[in-house]
Structure 1
Amino acid sequence: MTAEQHLQWVSDHLNQGLIWLKKQCVNDGRLSNARLDEHQQATYDLALSTSEIRCAQAYLETARSTSDLNETMAETFAASMIQSTLNRLLLSPQDVGLTRAALAAPVALEAFLDANLRAEHLAKIGADLITVNGETRGRGLPEAQQMIADTFHQFADDVVAPLAESIHREDQIIPDAILEGLKQLGCFGLSVPEQYGGLLPDDREDTLGMIVVTEELSRVSLGGAGSLITRPEILSRALIEGGTPAQKADWLPGIAAGETLCAVAITEPDYGSDVASSKLKATLTEDGWLLDGAKTWSTFAGKANVLLTLARTNPDPTLGHKGLSLFLV
């Protein structure tokens, strides 16, 4: 059996679990938030597992048309995601409407997992990557995106790599050499529509360029370069989705040009991924909005000109995310 067939076997079981979960969480034909909360762990397990398996399927589909090393890594990733999913679901299969017997891996799947997850196999992949200096390339990208990847790959090697260690070890603010280079390459406009001076087509969604650039920069340094592009991306998308025409015209051109540097203030001392519980309070006054509270772990805040800040505009905590608003500070 192929890796694709093994992934499909797992995917079929996940679909059974999702069908079961839907039945538990629907009330009078509508999804019940209360029932969803009752099955929160099952929802999390199925969502994470489904994401992992679909990522593995997409990786395999792309890798098949590239190189032997890419194929080997894709199959190993598939094995890792299958094992991760089985480990997760077997802890309490009844909570997702399955049984241990149903999740017992067939002999062929056991052999696939053993072959791809043994230490000797993983060590060989590592050695092969060292031999090619990590240059697996051939990701099946369209020509335009491959040119973008090549450009930022070179920039990462020439500009970011020599500075990366000192940025991390000395906790430095991002050097101007990196910022200026990224500005010249149009990095900050990848998520800004063309009508506002960015590179994003006005008539369609296109995230592949941003993903490729983030990947190439993160290859050398996530903190020193890779995470920079996600900040304007988050802020730009928030503006495009919920901003007024005046706000878009005022902010987006500067973001696209790299003149307005962005950071995001979401995390609080007591709340991180639980965004709906955020407590920083926003109160409307005669002079505008007053923000009262604390944020932490705001990447790039030391260099940014504007903070996209999440605050609670309705003090009723039972409203959760419905009582929250975004501010440009």
Structure 2
Amino acid sequence: MTFKWRDNSVRILALFIAVILWVYVTNEQNPVTDISYNITLEANQPEGYIIKGLPRTVNVRFKGVRSVTGTLQRMDFSARVDLSGISEVGEQQFPVQITSPPGVEVLQVTPQTVRLQVDRIVTKSVPVVVSLKGNVADGQQAGEPVLKPPVVSIRGPSQVLDEINQLGVTVNVNGAKDTLERVASVETGAEGVSVTPDRVAVTIPVIHVPSKTIPVRIRLTGEPAPGYTVSEVTSNPLSVQVTANDGILNSMTAVSTMAVDITGVASDVEKEAVLLLPDGVKQLNPESVHIIVKISPVEDEQQPPPENETPPESDTQPETQGRSQAGR
């Protein structure tokens, strides 16, 4: 059969024009458009691991004809990171997987990959230590705290738990006269770390300790300037309250200050001096005293009496409690 070009040329031309018109109308009435959405990024949580650094969203840019894209919404797309194959800890990179509806082409995903911090969830036992706030009543002493339980279990990221070797609780003992029993909350202060149990019972013995008023001994070192001498040494107060057991109190005669240097001085010295805490003493009240060291010019030596004259007897002043030139 011979194809008759002359007879079919009109038909071919008409078909060609129809195709062109269809393409034209389609592009004009239903053009291809580009659209982008911020899509929520999801990830499966692998058991025994904790993941940080996952972005909340990724940006997806896609294209399609208007008749299709005009009906789409964010919820028609999904973005996901597959973490099921995790076996190591540290920083790792994962691709973002996009699921899109039919009729559209995904052009770009930002970001295409995400860097995540992966860490194992572990459990660790740590001791609990007690810090005391305030001071017990005068004449009383706080003993060693007793905790129940003394050790708790913490659970969280291994890298965080490596930095936790103990946990602390604080108990206020201010003014306490008898043994205290308290329940204290145990907290880590670290995100993602839990404590079991999160409360411990704390017992703090408070016992009576004897006290006694004992005079102050002022320690001086050095010598005043030439032509001057120490004429008087005094402290305010003259004595302090010492808390210790009976054996130590009975053996104490004075409480010394730290050494006060008067080398080369030619005028009175007035200052605060810290008291030295003797071995076995629990408390000094106060812990320092105000001292005054009076410096006077040396008086001229008296002329010796005539040979036939008996010199007058000299009077010796008794040592005043709280005054001393010890250490000179």
> Is TM > 0.5 for Structure 1 vs Structure 2?
no
Greater strand fraction, Structure 1 or Structure 2: 2
Higher percent of residues as helix: 1
TM-score range, shorter chain: under 0.3
Q: Tell me the TM-score normalized by structure 1.
A: 0.20
Larger-gyration structure (1/2): 2
Could you tell me the TM-score, scaled by structure 2's length? 0.20
